[in-house]
Amino acid sequence: NAGVTQTPKFQVLKTGQSMTLQCAQDMNHEYMSWYRQDPGMGLRLIHYSVGAGITDQGEVPNGYNVSRSTTEDFPLRLLSAAPSQTSVYFCASSYSNSGVNTGELFFGEGSRLTVL
Amino acid sequence: GQNIDQPTEMTATEGAIVQINCTYQTSGFNGLFWYQQHAGEAPTFLSYNVLDGLEEKGRFSSFLSRSKGYSYLLLKELQMKDSASYLCAVTDSNYQLIWGAGTKLIIKP
């Protein structure tokens, strides 16, 4: 019963390096999203997708790219890492009703990223 | 702008009752969620309110007043395992979730 699987759990990067955070879900959810969580702040939406081939920007998309080639996978790419991207990243999915997020999100375990 | 306010931290005693408040100002409203997040773990869904009133689920209850932009999460018979952060989130007119910063609940024996 995997649910939402994120890798890696921990990563240290140097400024300017690129990397991809992987996210996969096995619940056939149409809606998938990436959040970052920083101390003292609410979860902030980076990018989201309401189905394969469809992606859109959230509140803080700069410096990140996503793609959704299949229903199951939603990778997040950091193009050129900056110290401001040090954070905990969560992938989340939910059942989508007519293309909108129904709100009950299932989260991956999180990826803790440090950029030096 | 959109805003969700909840207390930063609360302390309660094992076996007692605690109420965590959440006030919100958002562009549109399509439901309010409460999530629980233990330290170092992912948030997990607790409750959902879209109509005014109280929703009860075991030891946890959630209340909503849409006219006041207000919700609370009530935890009864507190257990040590309830020590966690509790996140309030509102679905806005675009069906995106707006999150509060969370309330860290500390349970003392």
Q: What confidence category does residue A98 fall into, taking pLDDT thresholds of 50, 70 and 90?
A: low
| Residues of B in Cβ contact (< 8 Å) with A41 | 101
The verdict on a CB contact (< 8 Å) between B98 and A109 is no
* A75 has a pLDDT exceeding 90: yes
* A99 has a pLDDT exceeding 80: no
Cα A82–Cα A84–Cα A86 angle in degrees, nearest 5: 90
Q: A64: left (phi > 0), else alpha (psi -120 to 50), else beta?
A: beta
The verdict on a CB contact (< 8 Å) between A42 and B101 is yes
What is the share, in percent, of chain A residues with pLDDT greater than 90? 85
Check residue A44 and give its pLDDT.
95
Cα A60–Cα A65–Cα A71 angle in degrees, nearest 5: 105
Lowest mean pLDDT of A75-89, A95-109, B2-16, name the range.
Answer: A95-109
- pLDDT tens-digit readout, B51-103: 999 999 999 999 999 999 999 999 999 999 999 999 999 998 888 889 999 99
Check residue B92 and give its pLDDT.
86
The verdict on a CB contact (< 8 Å) between B96 and A108 is no
Check residue B104 and give its pLDDT.
97
Show the tokens assigned to A76: 């997040």
Rounded to an integer, the average pLDDT of A73-101 is 90
Q: How far apart are CA A94 and CA B10, in angstroms?
A: 30
Check residue B27 and give its pLDDT.
86
Show the tokens assigned to A26: 């096995």
What is the share, in percent, of chain A residues with pLDDT greater than 70? 93
Q: Does A100 touch chain B (CB under 8 A)?
A: yes
- pLDDT tens-digit readout, B18-37: 999 999 999 889 999 999 99
- pLDDT tens-digit readout, A18-68: 999 999 999 999 999 999 999 988 899 999 999 999 999 999 999 999 999
Q: Does A44 touch chain B (CB under 8 A)?
A: yes
Q: How far apart are CA B102 and CA B72, in angstroms?
A: 13
Q: How far apart are CA A23 and CA B10, in angstroms?
A: 34
Q: How far apart are CA B52 and CA B66, in angstroms?
A: 6
Identify from A35, A47, A105, A112 which residue to disrupt to test chain B contact, counting B C-beta atoms within 10 A and taking the largest count: A105
Chain B positions with Cβ closer than 8 Å to A: 4, 8, 30-31, 33, 35, 41-45, 48, 87, 89, 91, 95-102
Check residue A104 and give its pLDDT.
87
Check residue A101 and give its pLDDT.
64
Angstrom distances, CA of residue A56 to CA of A2, A22, A36, B58: 26, 18, 16, 37
Check residue B16 and give its pLDDT.
98
Check residue A96 and give its pLDDT.
76
The answer to whether B21 and B7 are in contact (CB under 8 A) is yes
